[in-house]
Amino acid sequence: MNTHANRFHSIGHGFVLALIFALAFWSPIPAKAGDKSEGKPAKMMACCKEMSQQHEKLIAEMKAQDAELATQVAQMNSAPDDKKLNLLAAIVTRMTEQRATMNEKMATMQDNMMKHMMMHAMHDQKEMSEHSAKHEKDAKDEDETDNSH
């Protein structure tokens, strides 16, 4: 059971690292005054913070579930032989319920994270396109000015 729990926590930590990397890689460029997208980066960063808090809550839930299961296993191990099978069945049932619930929560969180990362990517792409268009316009204006002299 410990090996399974450790592997599950490793997956959870991998998820955190992926989230941190994604947020660092796609962190938004601050909006300029008067920019139409003003407020969007702040809104996205608030969403990033909320997602991080949800992940922390999920980790806390997992730790609480691990503690609950450890208590149940200790009770089972110290129980008389004629009670152990029923306690084992209760533990397996509880683990199955926890796993199904956790898989659902993690799938939802991953889906939300992917959507959020796409928002960052689209915002950054728009910023880069606008930046490139401005440089192209400046270069064209400079060429026209040079040709008119």
Answer yes or no: are the C-beta atoms of 75 and 90 closer than 8 Å: no
pLDDT at residue 14, rounded to an integer? 61
pLDDT at residue 128, rounded to an integer? 72
Nearest to 138 by CA among 126, 130, 148, 149: 130
Going by the DSSP 8-state scheme, the letter that residue 30 receives in this structure is P
Q: How far apart are CA 149 and CA 93, in angstroms?
A: 84
Number of H helices, E strands in the chain: 3, 0
- Burial string for 83-121 (b: 16+ CB within 10 Å, else e) reads eeeebeeebeeeeeebeeebeeebeebeeebeebbebbe
Q: How far apart are CA 97 and CA 63, in angstroms?
A: 15
pLDDT at residue 8, rounded to an integer? 46
pLDDT at residue 33, rounded to an integer? 45
- 54-58 — which CB contacts under 8 Å span 24+ positions? 54/109, 55/15, 55/16, 55/19, 55/109, 58/12, 58/102, 58/105, 58/106, 58/109
pLDDT at residue 66, rounded to an integer? 94
pLDDT at residue 123, rounded to an integer? 73
pLDDT at residue 121, rounded to an integer? 79
pLDDT at residue 35, rounded to an integer? 45
Residue 145, class by beta-carbon neighbours within 10 Å (0-12 exposed, 13-18 middle, 19+ buried)?
Answer: exposed
Nearest to 116 by CA among 12, 56, 41, 59: 41
Q: What is the pLDDT along the chain (149 residues), one digit of tens a residue?
A: 455 445 445 455 566 556 555 555 554 444 444 444 445 667 777 878 888 888 899 899 999 999 999 999 999 999 999 999 999 999 999 999 999 999 999 898 888 888 888 877 777 776 777 767 776 777 666 666 666 65
Instruction: Give the global pTM.
Output: 0.52
pLDDT at residue 115, rounded to an integer? 85
**Structural tokens at position 137:** 């316009």
pLDDT at residue 37, rounded to an integer? 44
